[in-house]
Structure 1
């Protein structure tokens, strides 16, 4: 059995049968697959997967050379491809309610943010591949998906699906090349819930398959970005609940909200894990709430983890 097959077999086994939970989820009967992976996958398996990845994907040689293209009205260029201007949404400056009154995501507190632009959709395979082809990004660490769609990355059939198997540094690399960054935790949460403190991007009603790709830990997988408009946020962002977890800029600290700045917070100065938001296709309803905070080591890359970018104004 190749290292790649060994990794996928072990990864599937953990997804299917491992029942342990992180401290935050010790008492919940429906622990998320992402947190199972975070705790259960051994360093040896990760190292084996790293070796296999290095064989499949070499670092992109040469310097970043973005093709210069002229786009029609209503479009703008990103790494040499034209994308709709509507793919970027401006979030106005102002104050919103962040966090919640219970659990590790507390306390409920007010945060004031400057205006910023954020991607309407999770970064897709098509957009990320353009960055790789321009020599500005390294390829995803694996070209398949959770249910074995191979190739997933590089297959035109999945061009409009979220790129996965990219770690935090790769996500930052992509955003930086466009003069952008990963959103801060506060920016992400405001874009997801608006200024009225809602539990889900669409409001207070319980999630269903109509408004989120979630709760499918065994046979679920990523879906085309923007395919559930009923789940859009107040500002029109898609897939802020479910589909894939999304990297954000901040280091994770359980107690950060207790002393975080009230204006434009950017997270702790250091840490071990980076925050991820939004939940993924295997997450239960609690994890796809707008205030829920997940975390992963910045070098980790999974089948349910992607990102989007912001540009500060």
Structure 2
């Protein structure tokens, strides 16, 4: 009797074929099928119905109805259309495709017909793929339980991914080891193990080969038949000359060969890789014009990118509208959409030399808080057990219950990141995003949100206006200084944390990227903060292009933040 033991794949091997001439003598239709007996509950398979004789016949559908014949003038009821003489729903299953060759839901347009694809015994999807544990063979999805790329009809063992046509595996007779090959028709060749097990002296021991380059003693039994070796010594890991293949990278493969000592040699390099991880979806600026526009793309089953739409600069997420607290007062959670496009970044006339030259930069669409994060908003995060409350009462108005609408201060940049992530998976705006939100789009070159005019005490919270006492004002203060995009207090009140690290790499604006600049230098301990805040003065040096440096854990009364995010779901690939 032959027994299959361990399976391994090999390179090309001469195969022997055999014909399957088995036939069925059962000519009676199966229960539930056309002409067969109805099921006990009086039903049949889809498209059939049970007649008065308990036999399944073709379902009779009224003329003009879904699935029924068309009227003589090739019309149907309601919104149905006459398609191949049958009334169908346009875009629906078995109905005609829309003019752009699309269908509803997950149906795909196959030969002008909306068709279920990717399921068992249905056409393969347009990208050549099928669902889980299925394989596309000759245009049809077939069962492939071990997902080795061969259907159960063509696989010698559809539950072992190492076994498929062309692979060799070990097998045994009652007394010896041998090999067998999986053929293209899904059957094994005859096992090469000797079936001549006769011996002459019961109890005699003889050395024999076993497993992978191993050896052992086999015993002559009382029935004058050699037994299998009781124990195999020095066996390796694989069958000499066999080749094993596995997936690697993005839809790539690599191989290794079993050496003469029955041990695996090193893997080859990964070859045949695609561009991406199958199933991944993202937004990209690749090949989009104007610069900064994005489009969505998906990585298909062959690990290649497929565009899912046109490039756009619009916000693909609706900015959050503000609401009210339980007492009816505003919660100041409003967000603002900043469309994609260019703006002037930097300042050629500032006395400082870390924000020049002014140049055109392109940003993808993003969303930013209309107001600085208030004490009450931050308190929600603290009460949720996520954020840490300020620790120094002299560096914040957080503990004054009458100052709930004041901007949160006395928190670190890391605290700000924690809050933004809690508040809907957001983060801090980049320096470039912050400056565009403050200045406005190209071709504006203003050095303050409203223009170039010097600020007044009616336009910003500056120490000259408060007797040089640094005291934050409510986040909706100073409506005269609202920015082009409608942001409050992006000039004055408090200095705001940003996402960028601050190093020499981003001090010369002529060296920064033209598209979506962002600096995140590993190991950096200094970060950018924007705006003078309440430390500003009513003089020319107070500009929206001003930059300062802050560590990740500093706490000051004049530093707070607002949150931002890209205006689409997921990450962006530049």
TM (norm. structure 2) is 0.39
More strand by share: 2
How do 1:1-313 and structure 2 match up within 5 A? 75=322, 87-102=334-349, 103-145=353-395, 152-178=397-423, 179-195=425-441, 196-216=444-464, 218-256=468-506, 257-270=509-522, 271-284=524-537, 285=539, 288-313=542-567
Change over 3 Å in CA distance of 1:180–1:76 after alignment to 2: farther
Encode CA deviations 1:192-216: one digit per residue, 9 max, x unaligned.
Answer: 0002121001111101111111134
Does the 8 Å contact 1:231/1:239 carry over to 2? Answer: yes
Change over 3 Å in CA distance of 1:155–1:212 after alignment to 2: same
Q: Distance in 1 between matches of 2:490 and 2:541?
A: 11
Give 1:227 deviation, angstroms.
1.0
Does the 8 Å contact 2:462/2:536 carry over to 1? Answer: yes
Change over 3 Å in CA distance of 1:286–1:145 after alignment to 2: farther
The secondary structure found in structure 2 opposite 1:221 is coil
Query: Structure 2 unaligned runs (5+)?
Result: 1-319, 568-574
Residue number in structure 1 paired with 2:287: none
Q: Distance in 1 between matches of 2:434 and 2:322?
A: 24
Give 1:220 deviation, angstroms.
3.0
Supply the RMSD in Å over aligned alpha carbons.
2.4
Does the 8 Å contact 1:192/1:234 carry over to 2? Answer: yes
Higher relative contact order (CA 8 A, sep 6+): 1
The secondary structure found in structure 2 opposite 1:131 is helix
Q: Distance in 2 between matches of 1:211 and 1:241?
A: 9
Change over 3 Å in CA distance of 1:209–1:82 after alignment to 2: closer
The secondary structure found in structure 1 opposite 2:378 is helix
Give 1:286 deviation, angstroms.
5.0
Give 1:287 deviation, angstroms.
5.6
Does the 8 Å contact 1:185/1:267 carry over to 2? Answer: no
Encode CA deviations 1:274-300: one digit per residue, 9 max, x unaligned.
Answer: 100111212234564111111111111
Q: Distance in 1 between matches of 2:456 and 2:332?
A: 30
Q: Distance in 2 between matches of 1:290 and 1:268?
A: 22
Between 252-261 and 187-196, the greater mean CA deviation after superposition: 252-261
More helix by share: 1
Q: How many residue pairs get matched?
A: 234
Query: Structure 1 unaligned runs (5+)?
Result: 1-72, 147-151
